Structure formats: structure tokens, C-alpha cells
Amino acid sequence: MPRFADDGRVAGTEVRELLVPGPWTTPAAPFTSRVAFAAAHVVPHVGAENVPGAPAVVDWDTTLAYRHRLWEHGLGVADAMDTAQRGMGLDWAATRELVRRSAAEARAVGGRVACGAGTDQLDPAVVAGWERGDPAALAAVADAYREQVHVVQDAGAQVVVMASRALARVARSPEEYARVYDAVLAEADAPVILHWLGTMFDPALAGYWGTGDDVAAATDVFVDLVRAHQGRVDGVKVSLLDASHEKGLRARLAALDAAAGGAVRLYTGDDFHYPELVVGDGRAHSDALLGIFAAIYPAASTALGALDAGHPDRAHAILASTEALGRHVFAAPTHYYKTGIAFLSWLNGTQPAFQMVGGLQSGRSVAHLVALVRLADRAGLLLDPDLAARRTHAFLEAHGAAA
């Protein structure tokens, strides 16, 4: 294994014997103490033109087989979301097919699936020309949302209402955000998950909820939206990487009037602080909808089993053993975290090549991915050490970094 100097040159090597994988378990029955979704990635056909700007060509068999692994480990699948490269290589035609296929596979095995509904079928060039506050543009955003909500519902999946770049581009105020979400939620035939995605995941979402950089004010707008539609909201997924903010929001959601529509879950999207948030403090906890769970699913499943068995300390220890890996995978620029998830999938033999739609395998450096190998090994998440060693060597050799 190479060691790199600050300027990227190979500055030495390390002989590393990979560890035996962790003592991971799979559940015999559904988990009861937490609801947990893993946000899954997509795998391209290795010979297709999956280059930047080209339509995605998805290897459906391999992509869906990965989802079956998640279901077998007791996790729900959150599909067609940012981990699946929405807005970063996965076009709407491929997304629509992914929703249809993933929902059908979930039905076949009794797995849980939730799929993202957004507005990314809108032409970015047209969106860029909109004037802020244009009523016709706001109506177009609402119509795009409604189209995708119906695609997800018709497939039989739960709807995740994703944050919209187009809405961030055109809306000027909290009232305009509320108007669009009111129209979208009116279409929901079952409780949805609302997704608040921070700018570290997508810089184009700056100022979401119409309050500029004021997160506290944005939180007030968000809670007001949930309160107004409480009966139509199963939960919220918050991806701001701020544990203190999440705990405060979680308490506000817990305080909503139960008579107005029942409890509203907080599905953590915090891929930095998930051990403390999911395990909780004995009084409150978050459920989970996490991209990192797609990478650490054997450990996540084992930890959830420990929670069900009444062993929160063991659950926390298991998740904490993966935290350094999670922080590395989601390090800035965070929106390239998908590259690390696909790389680990390849190391573990669940896809035939280290490739991604849109050519996104180039989103992380060789040094970053070498560090990922070390951290995944330390966490016991290289599931076939011999295969991982061979593939790591092949990767290093192809990139001119082999000893």
C-alpha cells in the first residue's frame, strides 16, 4: 500500500495484511427499535458510454442485486436519491426505470422501499433563464414534482420529496416554497418523507426554504411546513451534518400535536454523527436514511440487531467503529461521497468494475481511495479480504501507484 506526500508523490509503502471481516449478523425478523433505510447507488454496464453528459446506461441485474443485499440485512432501501447520482449522472429516464424496477423487487421479497421525487426532468437551460418569483416557473416546478410523485406512487414505493434545484433557483420567499410544497403534498396518497439536503451535498440548494443563510429561520419554515401537513408526513430526512441542530429539530417534531396526524419521525441523514443519533440517549433517538448505511450495511444491520436485543452500548460501539470510515467517505467535497461507496462495492465484489454513471469514478483521488481501503479494513468491512487485496493491487497498478 503506498503512502503519499502532500504533493501527491508516493513517499513510501506499507505492507498490510487485511483483517478478517467483523462478526456481522443478519436478522431473522424485521427490526423493531428503529426504521432504517440505506440510500443505494447504481452500477453501470462496464462497456457503455457512461461518460459525463451521456445518458446513464445501468446494469440492472447488478444494481438490483445490491438492493437485495440491503433487504437481506433488514434494511429498507432509499432509492433514486442523491446516492443514486440524482443530478450527477442519473438522468430522469433512467431514474424512472430505477423506481419501477426497485419497487417491483421490493414487493417480490417484502422489502421496504422509498424513492425520491424531485424536479430534475426540467431542462436546466430553461430553469437558468427563469426570473425569480415568476408564477409560471413556480407552477412548472410544482407540476414537475407532481409528475415524479405519481411515478413513485404508481410503482408502489413510498415518496421522498427531495429538495429541488429548480425551486431554489426560482423561489424568493418562504411563502413561495410553501405554495409549491402545498401543491405537491396534496398529491400524496400516503405519508411521505420530506428531504432537507444541505449545500455540502448540493451547492445549488443554497438558501433553501427562502431564508438565505439563516439556518434557524429555515428550520422554523420547515417545521411550519410539517405542522401544516402533519397527517401527510411520515418523517423528515435532514442532511446538514449538524448533530446539535438535528437534536433540536427532533425535539420540535416530537412536540407536535399528536392529534394533528401522529408522530413525525426524524430520519437522520448525518453521515458524520450517526452513531450517537441513531442509538440516542435513552430518551430520544433518530431513525435513519443514510448513504453510509449502503457502504457499511453488515455493521449497520448488526448494530440494529443489538438495539432490538436491548444492548445500546454494543450497538453504539459497532457503529462507532465505522465512524472514521463514514467521515472519510463523506469528507469535503461531500457531494463526491458516491465515489467511495461505489469503490467499496467494487472491492467487496458486488460490482464487476469500479465505474459509475457520468464518469463519477473520477470524483476522488487515488490517495483518498487508498485511505478508504485502510479505514474499511480497520472497520472489518472488506468482506472478502483476498478479493479486496487483488482489486486494490490492480487499482494501484492501473494508476501508477503499485509498489
Q: Say which range, 205-214, 258-267, 315-324, 385-394, has the weakest mean pLDDT.
A: 258-267
Contacts of 65 (CB under 8 A, 6+ apart): 350
Q: What is the pLDDT of residue 338?
A: 98
Is residue 401 within 8 A of residue 10, CB to CB? The reply is yes
Q: What is the pLDDT of residue 403?
A: 73
User: What is the mean pLDDT of the segment spanning 39-56?
Assistant: 96
Q: What is the pLDDT of residue 36?
A: 98
Q: What is the pLDDT of residue 305?
A: 98
- Supply 349's cell numbers: 465484489
Strand partners, 38: 77, 290
User: What is the mean pLDDT of the segment spanning 13-29?
Assistant: 95
Contacts of 189 (CB under 8 A, 6+ apart): 153
- Write out pLDDT tens, residues 106-159: 999 999 999 999 999 999 999 999 999 999 999 999 999 999 999 999 999 999
Percent with pLDDT over 90 in the chain: 98
Three-class SS of the chain: CEEECCCCCEEEECCCCCCCCCCCCCCCCCCCCCCEEEECCCCECCCCCCCCCCCCCECHHHHHHHHHHHHHCCCEEEECCHHHCECCCECHHHHHHHHHHHHHHHHHHCCCEEEEECCCCCCHHHHHCCCCCCHHHHHHHHHHHHHHHHHHHHHCCEEEECCCHHHHHHCCCHHHHHHHHHHHHCCCCCCEEEEEECCCCCHHHCCCCCCCCCHHHHHHHHHHHHHHCHHHEEEEEEECCCHHHHHHHHHHHHCCCHHHCCCCEEEECCCCCHHHHHHCCCCCCCEEEECHHHHCHHHHHHHHHHHHCCCHHHHHHHHHCCHHHHHHHCCCCHHHHHHHHHHHHHHCCCCCCCCCHHHHHHHCCHHHHHHHHHHHHHCCCCCCHHHHHHHHHHHHHHCCCCC
Contacts of 162 (CB under 8 A, 6+ apart): 81, 82, 86, 116, 117, 118, 195, 197
Q: Say which range, 208-222, 256-270, 336-350, 389-403, has the weakest mean pLDDT.
A: 256-270
Q: What is the pLDDT of residue 321?
A: 98
Return the sign of the alpha-carbon dihedral for residues 124, 40, 64, 190. negative
**pLDDT value at 259 more than 90:** no
CA–CA dist 56, 39 (Å, integer): 18
CA–CA dist 339, 360 (Å, integer): 7
User: What is the mean pLDDT of the segment spanning 12-28?
Assistant: 95
Q: What is the pLDDT of residue 258?
A: 79
Q: What is the pLDDT of residue 261?
A: 77
Mean pLDDT (the chain) is: 97
**pLDDT value at 257 more than 90:** no
- Residue 279 corresponds to which amino acid? V
From residue 206, alpha-carbon distances to 91, 235, 241, 330 in Å are: 22, 22, 15, 19
**pLDDT value at 55 more than 80:** yes
Contacts of 98 (CB under 8 A, 6+ apart): 42, 58, 63, 79, 80, 84, 90, 115
**pLDDT value at 181 more than 80:** yes
